[in-house]
Amino acid sequence: MLDKPVGPSSMRAVAVVRRRAGGLKTGHGGTLDPLASGVLVLGLGKATKLLEQIVATDKGYETEIDLSIRTNTDDMEGEPEVVEVAKPPDRATVETALRQFVGDVMQRPPAFSAIKVGGRRAYALARQEKPVDLPPRPVRVNRLELVAYQWPVATITIACGKGFYVRALARDLGQTLGTGGCCRSIRRTAVGPFSIEEAIPLDDVPDPLEPHMLLSVESALTRLD
């Protein structure tokens, strides 16, 4: 398990580990955006067969949402646009708004996402300023908790199923509150039974990769049962 830093893509992190593992087949169990950090579960060799099962597990996140701005990417990669708010919402109002996003809900993915539209990635079309119309998809949200709030930043922990977009939550929360909504940070804290506490920072992965640092296929299967 890697603790991916902000900056490199998930595939870049995979390439680093593959190289340090002597070219052993390597894949990941769920993409993290370049501007997101946290748990990235990797499978090496025969363990790559488990990755589809890992992708399907629930996830945990912590995000800081800035309610005073919006961007076309729903995070800080885009150009920020200040949203004037006559009266900032109080904590109780934000908590009430969050409740409508818990349970089995429909969520429209961000325009800047890897979903394919007519054979092309949505983000590629969005970068060319072409219209991207992604229909809402069903997602499961087990828990949303407002752990800190000082206008304009709301810090929220999330427990959700696969296919959930944290950036879409920021966008939709802002629309519900009549404010901006943009992720200042996203950190994945868990992928199924694999937590951030046991993840290894990418910079700490030795070259060559030491076998004792890897979880066996049998141990991984036990956790997934």
Which region, left, alpha or beta, applies to residue 184 given φ > 0 means left and ψ of -120 to 50 means alpha? alpha
CA distance 69 to 57: 32
3-class DSSP assignment, residue 74:
coil
Continuous H helices in the chain: 10-20, 51-55, 91-99, 122-127, 166-177, 217-224
DSSP run (H or E) holding 59: strand 59-66
Tell the burial category of 210 from Cβ atoms under 10 Å away from its Cβ (0-12, 13-18, 19+). Answer: exposed
Which residues are tagged catalytic? 33
3-class DSSP assignment, residue 96:
helix
Q: Which residue shows structure tokens 């030795």?
A: 206
Cα of 69 vs its chain's centroid, Å: 20
